[in-house]
Structure 1
Amino acid sequence: MIHKKIELENNQTLVLLDLSRKISEDAFVVIMKATIDIKIEKGLFFDDPLPDLKFEDILAELGDTVRYEYKIERNFIMDKEKDRVFETLVTTFLDNLGHYVAKPAFPGKFVLKKYRDNRK
């Protein structure tokens, strides 16, 4: 279930999901997942513009979008603590990685990393 959508400074949308589920009568596994679907466009590579051939190679390898995902979970959280634990996971993600994924260069660098990883 979508918990929150945040429009980032780099024109990307960060989606925070609550994927928590009940694992016993009074306990949960609390799961927070963050995703960003990055549309691959030439404008992402403003730091180091790509030649047309390289850009076409990236599109051929990855398609027209890539997904950034980050997931964290805490197991066996008591029912009454679930919401507090989830909010702590969200806050920790935003404090530690939120600034990084909002940087203007992040989408282009992430696309290049996915491209290099796929080529290996």
Structure 2
Amino acid sequence: MIRAAMSLGANQWQIFKRITFKAAFPSIISGMKTSLTLAFSGLVVAEMMGSDIGLGYIIVDSKNWFRVSDMFMAMFLIAAEYLVIYFLLSFLEKKLFKWKKTGISAVVENN
């Protein structure tokens, strides 16, 4: 596709924007979904270790003062934030890449 675009007179920016970036974007979205878990883990641990605010701090403070309901509320909010962002990325992926098959439909052919 790059050779075809070059033969039709496309410059480097057009090749990047219309071919290279569009080909890489599904992998970028998948990487964002994968790294979301690590980002949330790092965020919560950082808040637990050295912060005076945040959901991680609430979990540690609640544990120290035996406020179990506050601790579970903070854990629920962390899970809810993660799920909202994950489902937004999944929705974006489904809308932008309707051609991409996932799950069992990628393996089994429908007749």
Larger radius of gyration: 2
TM-score by length of 1: 0.27
Normalising by structure 2, we get a TM-score of 0.28
Give the strand-richer structure, 1 or 2: 1
Indicate the structure whose relative CO is greater, using CA pairs within 8 Å and at least 6 residues apart.
Answer: 1
Structure whose residues are more often helix by fraction: 2
